[in-house]
Amino acid sequence: MALKSTIYKAELQIADMDRHYYGDHSLTIARHPSETDERMMVRVAAFGLFAAERLEFCKGLSDTDEPDLWQKDLTGAIERWIEVGQPDERRIAKASGRADDVVVIAYGGRTSDIWWQGVRSKVERLRNVRVWSLGADVAEALGKLAERTMRLQMTVQDGAAWLTSAQAEPVVIEWTTLKARDGE
């Protein structure tokens, strides 16, 4: 018998001074049985960093045709495709053809560096793709925020971000841009 996803609930307050985006979001997050707390919370952080009215979680690990998050316009066209982890270059190229903006948020320290060296030559040609690598300890720190019911606050200012909850120390979300979109 297949294991079912575990459901997490989060109330996420976002104050993004860089984009002038302020909002409260009630999130339902399905955590796949093979997914870690760290990966799930990187998805939550990605939601906060790119929050928009139509941004939503997808089936993620349960469906290879969908990203971790996406934002569609009113016609159903994919405006933003967000991948968390270390997808292969074919998946990134496929996303590049389906969405206006593709964001890959890699994490894992040294393993992310090795992954990037393997896909870099092919991904750098894709004009609408940006790749970020989280700081070495960020995913682990985010994982410590995971609870079945969460109240989180995200602040983004001057290119820096913090995710906090009442139960844990604030997590500074640091990243390095490995590849920017053309024109950025």
Where residue 122 sits, what CATH number does that domain have? 3.10.640.10
Mean pLDDT throughout 119-130?
Answer: 96
Location of structure tokens 């604030």: 170
Mean pLDDT throughout 4-10?
Answer: 91
Predicted local distance difference test score (pLDDT) of residue 59: 75
Tell me: pLDDT of 92 over 90.
Answer: yes
Location of structure tokens 């979300």: 173
**Looking at the domain assignment, is residue 184 inside a domain?**
no
DSSP output for the chain: -PPPPEEEEEEEEEEETTTTEEEEEEEEEEE-TT--HHHHHHHHHHHHHT--TTEEE--GGG-TTS-SEEEE-TTS-EEEEEEES---HHHHHHHHHHEEEEEEEE-STHHHHHHHHHHHHHHTT-TTEEEEEE-TTHHHHHHTT--SEEEEEEEEETTEEEEEETTEEEEEE-EEEEEPPTT-
Confidence of residue 166 (pLDDT cuts 50, 70, 90): confident
CA dihedral for 10, 13, 15, 16, sign (positive or negative): positive
pLDDT tens for each residue of 36-89: 999 999 999 999 999 999 999 987 655 678 999 999 999 999 999 999 999 999
Contact predicate 155/103, CB 8 Å: no
**Looking at the domain assignment, is residue 1 inside a domain?**
no
**Looking at the domain assignment, is residue 81 inside a domain?**
yes
Tell me: pLDDT of 109 over 90.
Answer: no
Structural domain count, the chain: 1
Range of the domain at 15: 6-179
pLDDT tens for each residue of 139-158: 999 999 999 999 999 999 99
Q: Torsion angle of alpha carbons 142, 144, 148, 151, nearest 10°?
A: -60
Tell me: pLDDT of 2 over 70.
Answer: no
Tell me: pLDDT of 182 over 90.
Answer: no
Q: In this structure, what token pair is assigned to residue 113?
A: 């560096």
Mean pLDDT score of the chain: 93
d(CA 125, CA 37): 33
**Looking at the domain assignment, is residue 69 inside a domain?**
yes
Predicted local distance difference test score (pLDDT) of residue 82: 98
Tell me: pLDDT of 1 over 60.
Answer: no
Mean pLDDT throughout 156-165?
Answer: 95
Q: What is the residue type of 171?
A: V
- What is the percent of the chain where pLDDT is above 70? 96
State phi, psi for 117 to the nearest 5 degrees: -60, -30
